[in-house]
Amino acid sequence: MRIRGGVATAVGRVRERNEDAFLVQDPVFAVADGMGGHRGGNVASALALETLGSFRLPDQGAAEALVEDIKKANERVMEQGESNRDLRGMGTTLTAVVREDAKAHIAHVGDSRAYLMRDNNLQQLTLDHTLVQQMVAEGRISPQEAGHHPQRSILTRALGVEDGLDVDVLTMDVHPGDRVLLCTDGLTSLIEDGSILRVLEEEPEPQSAADRLVREANNAGGDDNITVIVLDFDRQDGGVPITGSETAPAPSVTSPSAPPDGEPAGNREALTTKVSAPPREEAWPQAQRARPRRAKPGGKRGAWRWRRGLILLVALIVAAVTGIRLFADRQWYVGDSGGRVAIFNGIPTKLLGLRLHHVVETTDLSAARAEQLQPWRDLHDGINANSLREARTIVEQIRQDLSTPGSGGGG
Ligand code: MG
């Protein structure tokens, strides 16, 4: 099957440097989004893709071979991160596609994404390894909320963090006319899937599609580095044909044009060191939890681990508080506010000194009198309701009970 493609990358409008990298080396195509202080981010993404650049299609087991190479890349990023003081704590996402005849193998770690456009539908092929994705999976927040969640960049998996990295891999049959998009979160955090689909539909040339996606993310704020690869399978309308032969791979992708902001683009340039951006506040809570090694106080390495542990702990607490607050926002209860029966939004407790509730409606009903009635004696602890409406029903019930002669009360 023939393939044509386009690639574009941009530093964006906020970051100083581009820590994204891409690899376009038929049969392997990949994007990586590096992170880590100093120059760590772009070293991590470049190193990972450089390692993947030596991928060769085996006679059998291409998907497994791809996963193996990504694990190798993980080890290299870890080694570099541990042996070089400036690079400590660096990590990277990696989303790769390897084509093999009429199949594509997609491997993925982190929050960069692969999409498939087929028959004018856009399907996300990868699931983000992020805390908010986990919250979506657990039904705690909606996918819409996830898109704007303040903790959306907290990764639960990344290269460079732990041994024995878990790599998601998917093999799919490619149909003529399929278009595969690889991108970093600089695109997807700003552009909705619907808009991505529209651009992909409106731009038949893969290079124009890649350029325009980057441009639109920049126009939408460009608050992160943006990298996009668009791959078209078996288009009939010319372009650079690629033979399916593994022995004589032809250049698979039209050469990248300069991105809108003048950031140098191109296969090798992207893989060599670009200066790094300010560190993203990233953490890998799951990965860290899975890593039982303890910090050795005193050693440089220990000191670093300790510091990273602390950062992770803070990130976990922030995430937990955010999660609980999101949860609390949907809870209602009837309780005592200054001696009056009142409706609260939230949960009747405090967390780390944060009050997780506020009064929504107060009434003229005495809380003390209500508590003397058997059904409402726990009023000051809060009587839970599933909605504001339900809370109002409870208040009405209290009102009725209090006005019923002989119901006790008397306070
Ligand atoms: Mg990014």
Question: How far away, in angstroms, is 159 Cα from ligand 1 center?
Answer: 14
Q: Ligand 1: distance of its center to the CA of 163 in Å?
A: 23
- Determine the pLDDT at residue 258: 36
Beta bridge partners of residue 355, listed in sequence order: 350
Q: How far is the CA of 226 from the centre of ligand 1 (A)?
A: 7
pLDDT of residue 300: 54
CA-to-CA distance for 217 and 192, rounded, in angstroms? 10
What is the H or E stretch that residue 134 is in?
helix 131-137
Distances (CA, A) of 213 to 97, 199, 203, 335: 19, 7, 10, 51
Where is average pLDDT lowest: 105-109, 173-177, 296-300? Answer: 296-300
CB 128 within 8 A of CB 117: no
Q: Which amino acid is at 127?
A: L
Cα of 381 from ligand 1 centre, angstroms: 45
What is the pLDDT, as a whole number, of residue 311? Answer: 81
Q: How far is the CA of 267 from the centre of ligand 1 (A)?
A: 19
Q: Give the distance (Å) from ligand 1 centre to CA of residue 242.
A: 31
How far is it, in rounded angstroms, from Cα 389 to Cα 371?
A: 21
Nearest 10 degrees: Cα torsion 34, 35, 37, 40: -30
* pLDDT single digits (tens) 322-355: 777 667 777 888 999 889 999 988 877 766 666 7
* pLDDT tens readout for residues 245-269: 222 222 333 333 333 443 333 332 3
- Domains of the chain by residue range: 2-259, 332-403
- Smallest CA-to-CA distance from 128 within 151, 157, 102, 149 is with 157
Q: How far is the CA of 343 from the centre of ligand 1 (A)?
A: 42
pLDDT in tens, 204-247: 999 999 999 999 999 999 999 999 999 999 855 444 443 322 22
The rounded Å distance from CA 164 to ligand 1 centre is 24
Q: Which neighbouring-strand residues pair with 358?
A: 345
With CA atoms as reference, report the closest residue to 225 among 28, 6, 41, 29: 41
Q: Which CATH architecture has domain 2-259?
A: 4-Layer Sandwich (3.60)
| Residue 148 pLDDT | 79
Q: What mean pLDDT is reported for the chain? A: 81
- CATH number, domain 332-403: 3.30.70
- CA–centroid distance, 32 to ligand 1, in Å, is 9
Distance CA 133, CA 156 (A): 9
Does position 104 have pLDDT exceeding 60, yes or no? yes
Residue 385 phi/psi, 5° resolution? -140, 155
Residue 188 Cα to ligand 1 middle (Å): 9
